[in-house]
Homo-oligomer: A and B are copies of this chain.
Amino acid sequence: MQISSRFSVAVHVLSLLAMYQPTDAPLTSERMAGSVNTNPVVIRRILGQLKKAGLVEVRPAAGGTFLTRQPAIISLLDVYRAVEVVEAGRLFGMSEKPNPACTVGRYIQSALDVTLQRAQTALEQELAGVSLQQVTVDIAAKAAVGAG
C-alpha cells in the first residue's frame, strides 16, 4: 500500500509558503487548495499537523500563515514526520502474534526487525538530505526553463 499523499501535499503547501511574495494575494487555505487541486479542509488538516510540528505558524481569521524556519533548514524528513505518515519505526506491518511454539514463529520478528529498521532508516535519510529550499529552487529552475 502506498504512503499517504499527505506527505507530498504537505511539501506542496510548504513550497507555496516558501515561495510566497508579499505582492501575491494572501495564501488562504482555499488558494492553497486551488494549487493542489483539493478541498480547503484537506489543506487545513495538514496545516494543523505542520503547526503541531512547529514548522508553520497559522493565525486564525485573516492572520495569515508563515514558515517558522528558513526553507534551507526544513528537511523533507521533518515534513514526513510532521504528517505522521507512519508511526515511528513501523513502516513495515508485521503479523501480530506468530506461534511461539515454532522456532521460526518465535524468532522471525526479531530476526527481521534489524533489516526492516535499516530499510526504513535508509528511506528516511534520503528525505533528511533534501531541504524545502532545494525543492523550491528546483521548481523555480523548471519554471524558468518552462517559461523560456
Contacts and interface: CB of A to CB of B under 8 A. Distances in A.
Residues of A contacting B: mostly = helix
A108 B11 contact: yes
A112 B8 contact: yes
Contact of A34 (B95, B102, B107, B120): B102
Contacts of A95: 5, 8-9, 12, 36-38
A145 to B, nearest CB: 10
A94 B8 CA distance: 6
Assembly stoichiometry (copies) = 2
Interface in A94-118: 94-99, 102-112, 115-116, 118
Contacts of A3: 1, 91-93
A111 to B, nearest CB: 4
- The interface size bin for chain A is 35 or more
Given A34-B102, A111-B142, A115-B126, 14 more contacts: A1-B1, A1-B2, A1-B4, A1-B86, A5-B93, A9-B95, A36-B99, A37-B95, A107-B142, A108-B139, A111-B135, A119-B126, A119-B127, A122-B123
Interface of A: 1-5, 7-9, 11-12, 15-16, 19, 34-38, 76, 85-87, 90-99, 102-112, 115-116, 118-120, 122-127, 130, 135, 138-140, 142-143, 146
